[in-house]
Amino acid sequence: MNKTQVKAALPRELLASVVVFLVALPLCMGIAIASGMPPAKGLITGIIGGIVVGWLAGSPLQVSGPAAGLAVLVFELVRQHGVAMLGPILLLAGLLQLLAGRLRLGCWFRVTAPAVVYGMLAGIGVLIVLSQVHVMFDSAPQPSGLANLLGFPATLTQALPLESRGNGWQAGALGLGTIAIMWAWERLRPQSLRFVPGALLGVALMTAISIWLALPVNRVEVPANLSEAIDWLRPTDLLNLADPNLLVAAFALAFIASAETLLSAAAVDRMHNGQRSDFDRELSAQGLGNMLCGVLGALPMTGVIVRSSANVQAGAQTRLSAILHGVWLLAFVVVLSSVLQQIPVASLAGVLVYTGVKLVDFKAFRGLGRYGRMPMLTYAATALAIIFTDLLTGVLLGFALTLLKLALKAARLKISVVSLDQPGHLELRLSGAATFLKVPALAQVLEGIPPGTTLHVPLANLSYIDHSCLELLEDWGRANAGKGSRLLIEQRRLKRRVEGRVRTTAGLGA
């Protein structure tokens, strides 16, 4: 863009950047808390996602920052390996993303089955809700989804004003109030105020009420100097990456962050008619951003659809809006950190509970029904495995079910025997894919062919036939030649390919 174009676009981009900043501010802190990290860590990631990744991004209207989809994974990594090891894991994950982008592998991250992605987001959403309802009552979350579910009655009992002298019920009221405001604002907000995010409105009102009533609830802890929140990566920590568990964690983090980013970029492209996303450049930019977050000890980032959609709806047309939103985050933290320290933690937990519920997309689940029961089963199995085991196990189960579906589809073969007009001639009709999985069924049919039959086997309706099925047919021809049988294999118009040599002589036998 030349200077004239930049000058003309600046007012529109400024307005859009303020809208995105207002959406991002509570989410950055809330996601950090859900990840078991200080709120300032999420703000640092949001600043890097705006200023650095926004400048380099291949998807100019996409906004990057800490994502709810990674909160569960980060919480588990911090619990198992400690805060110090998050930096090395994130540095390696970012390097993998950078290499994938440079090797132009961006398009391959989009081949993940939608059922797995939707199931993953649903499972993450449920885990966020189960953990943040504890935080919403100023209680500590448990290390697993099942433990959070079983421990909720105790948390609720302790929060009741008649059962305890604690302040959990006051915090819970603030969290529920935040959720109620977000829900009502989403449905009742006037068109002229559509740019005002419900999360910010809910947090602001609950903060004001908590200050007015002087409620003794937990509040956000943000250092007066942002540099105090930076934990520089120590070279000695890099040596721990020799641990196979940390390598697996880095690969899992890189894959999930990349898949979420590129799916979000594809969704953003459908929202506007401007420049299309360069997925490889976007992947490289995300890699650099995550490497920088790893060096500074911040949270991992992805491209996030909530902030990105707010950016598009606010009228942004260039990357300038995403960059400026990072600048506003930095300025707010530096100048008004005392304001952030007044925000109740329960109110941010309420934002995350509402966000987690939205991640469980029942409309997407019902939509998968158009493609059969298997995608719906994959969605449900992925989500439940994530809830009751862990994120990596759930995603791997989803991929396994997807591959099973492909294998079953590839092994689908219709077999029938039809009498021809000429006496003693039968036709073995095969339709679909003739693989080794269908050898038993094919052998059973061949056993029923009467001796002395001339068997015609056209291959025109096969999409694929492997050597095991071909050898079975040829073995039948040789074995029954002495009984007067003949085998005629017709290759003409085979849809794709035949694996191995096929003899098409007048007969394998007499």
DSSP state of 213: T
178, 159 contact by CB (below 8 A): no
Q: What are phi and psi of 49, to 5 degrees?
A: -60, -35
What is the end-to-end Cα distance of the chain in Å, rounded?
80
Which pLDDT band holds residue 496 (cuts at 50, 70, 90)? very low
Query: CB neighbours of 229 closer than 8 A, spacing ≥ 6?
Result: 38, 40, 41, 43, 44, 222, 223
Q: How far apart are CA 107 and CA 259, in angstroms?
A: 10
Mean pLDDT, the chain, integer: 86
Q: How far apart are CA 381 and CA 390, in angstroms?
A: 12
Which pLDDT band holds residue 97 (cuts at 50, 70, 90)? very high
Give me the residue spans of the domains in the chain.
3-405, 413-498
430, 413 contact by CB (below 8 A): yes
Distances in whole angstroms, Cα of residue 46 to Cα of each of 145, 149, 369 = 27, 30, 37
The predicted-structure confidence for 8-50, as pLDDT tens digits, reads as follows: 677 888 888 988 998 898 889 989 988 989 999 999 999 999 9
Cα atoms in the Cβ-side hemisphere of radius 13 Å centred on 421: 0
pLDDT of residue 99: 96
What H or E segment, with its residue span, contains residue 457?
strand 454-458
The predicted-structure confidence for 318-336, as pLDDT tens digits, reads as follows: 999 999 999 999 999 888 8
Task: Average the pLDDT over 369-379 and give the result.
Answer: 88
Asked whether residue 168 carries a pLDDT value surpassing 60, the answer given is yes
The predicted-structure confidence for 252-309, as pLDDT tens digits, reads as follows: 999 989 988 988 888 788 788 888 899 999 999 999 999 999 999 999 999 988 889 8
468, 497 contact by CB (below 8 A): no
Asked whether residue 4 carries a pLDDT value surpassing 80, the answer given is no
466, 459 contact by CB (below 8 A): no
Task: Please say whether the structural domain 413-498 has been given the CATH code 3.30.750.24.
Answer: yes
SS3 content of the chain, % helix, strand, coil (to 5): 65, 10, 25
Amino acid of residue 482: G
pLDDT of residue 510: 35
